[in-house]
Amino acid sequence: MKVTIKKENLLEGLQTVQSVVGSRTTLPILSNALLKAEGDNLELVATDLDLCVSCRVEAKVEVKGATTVPVKKLFALAREMDTFEIELSSDERFVTTIKADPSIFKLKGLPPEEFPPLQSFKEEVGFSLPQSSMRRMLKWTSYAVSTDETRYVLNGVCLSIKSGLLSVVATDGRRLALVEEQLKEKVPLDFSGNYILPTKAVNELMRALSDKGEVLITLSQNYAGFSLAEDSKKSIKIVTKLIDGVYPNFRQVIPQDVKEKAKIDREEFLAALKRLEILTSESSNSVKLTFSKNTLTLSVNSPEIGEGAERIAVVYNGQEFSIAFNPRFLIEPLSVLSADEIEFSFIDELSPGVIRIQDPFVYVVMPMRLS
């Protein structure tokens, strides 16, 4: 294999795949990236056996072929080289030479045959949607994923597909975030159901998605694939194992008969919550919300730290009402949403609160007991 590649293209490809590789692996080959040179591009692939990321970038291929190299070492070297182009070549012993005058380095690799085979999908049948839509849906939900490993089916984001409607949902049992989008193209009937993406795959996907182009989603019983292409010069593919299990019926937890509703400026509400969160502690981590006519009073009383209160104007004409929440559970959705105004609805102080915006998004959060 011998290629000449722009430094920025090589760094872009390595940056895309290297985060998959852990610092400690049981198999030496998993510390390496597979490099495949063919046509007018270089494909870089990394995997941890559960998640595989590949990135194809433009390059001048003089001799086609494949090898593997320690990906983090190659990235560190390329980043520090003061050059416009880098030449990569490998020999029969899978030693890769990295050359850019006046620098020359050699990295010992392993046979590409040892690299785990990539998961393939039947005829690449899938459906597409804008990358910006997929990115937004994951951004609006992924913060609600559970970190409790004993509830493994909640350790990921669920893609639910039914009758051409894509629902993306995450929950940890105390709050739930849901966003939906009607798909413009017909979805194969085989795809109906729930698919749980592990958190690591979600993070890699969010890192790779951009505001341009489409993402092709392919699904099977155990795997999901995402193909991203902004233009003909670069493409990314992410393949992940799915979490095996039955995702709970998330629609059952969304309250239908709310009694009171308030319209609140999102940024003003968020800023007040961030200030009051400073006064909370592990033993006293709630913010009390008191709604009265066109006014919301937020207050914190932490015996070991202190107390504070904020008052903001809202649109509310119901009876005076108080409810308490963990401020972090309100700050996280408010931080990722882009709407100017939210609707906050509730039933009573012991029932979940619900945040909605004009887009098809709903956030359900359990309250804390008022002290």
| Burial degree of 217 (CB within 10 A; 0-12, 13-18, 19+) | buried
Whole-structure pTM value: 0.92
Point out which residues pair with 346 in neighbouring strands.
Answer: 260
Question: What is the architecture of the domain spanning 254-365?
Answer: Roll (3.10)
Spatial neighbors of 79 by CB under 8 A, at least 6 apart, are 11
- Tens-binned pLDDT, residue by residue, of the chain (371 aa): 999 999 999 999 999 999 999 877 778 999 999 999 999 999 999 999 999 999 999 999 999 999 999 999 999 999 999 999 999 999 999 999 999 988 899 999 999 999 998 877 665 568 899 999 999 999 999 999 999 989 999 999 999 999 889 999 999 999 999 999 999 888 877 778 999 999 999 999 999 999 999 999 998 889 999 999 866 678 999 999 999 999 999 999 999 888 899 999 999 999 999 999 999 988 888 999 999 999 999 999 988 899 999 999 999 999 999 999 999 999 999 999 999 999 999 998 899 999 999 999 999 999 998 76
CATH of region 2-114:
3.10.150.10
Cα separation, 236 vs 226, in Å, equals 8
Cα separation, 9 vs 5, in Å, equals 7
51, 71 contact by CB (below 8 A): no
Helix 71-80 with 7-18: angle, nearest 10 deg = 150
> Whole-angstrom distance between the N-terminal and C-terminal Cα of the chain?
69
Q: Find the length of the chain.
A: 371
**Domain 2-114 and domain 123-251 have a common topology:** yes
CATH of region 123-251:
3.10.150.10
| Residue-range domain boundaries for the chain | 2-114, 123-251, 254-365
The amino acid occupying position 291 is: F
